[in-house]
Amino acid sequence: MLSHLYRTWLIEKGSLTARLQQRYQHFSVKPLIVKYAKPTLDEAGLLHMTANDAALIREVFLIGNGQPVVFAHSVLPRNSLRGEWRGLGKLGNKPLGATLFANLEVKRTPLSYKKLSPNHALYQSAVNGLIDKPAFLWARRSVFNLNCANIMVTEVFLPHLVATV
């Protein structure tokens, strides 16, 4: 069962970036990590990678009116960073979602949801720097596909998203 406060955000099928840009007068992306590393086993499995394959891991905060409201963790396999997606490894403070949703050829798998506890690695990355750490966080993820290239995006919703407008 999805948390009532986060429900509309979790089930949003359109661009989360566009929705945040509509909601917040001041929206920005703060890159935290951009590096090649091995994805987790479940991420590698969903992306049809072997356990030894490296991918570009990108973690950012999506900032609304000066507060982190979403922590985004993206896994971009090396073989997906070509063709139309060759520039995705160099987005800097540009939102990945804007690029993904700009191309009508991009397909998205159904969203999956998870309640993250404090011992989950994504919970720990998402709350890094937060003063008040919640008992749990809601997250969703999906895989985007373009011409057989896949990218996984996990979005972790932070307390300021539902605490402010």
3-class secondary structure, 84:
helix
What pLDDT was estimated at residue 148?
80
pTM attached to this predicted model? 0.93
Assess whether pLDDT exceeds 60 at residue 2.
no
**CA pair distance 58, 67, nearest whole angstrom:** 19
7-163, CATH topology level: Chorismate lyase (3.40.1410)
What pLDDT was estimated at residue 164?
53
- Average the pLDDT over 131-146 and give the result: 92
Residue 38 pLDDT class (50, 70, 90 cuts): very high
Instruction: Look at the alpha carbons of 110, 78, 106, 9 in this order and tell me if their dihedral is positive or negative.
Output: positive
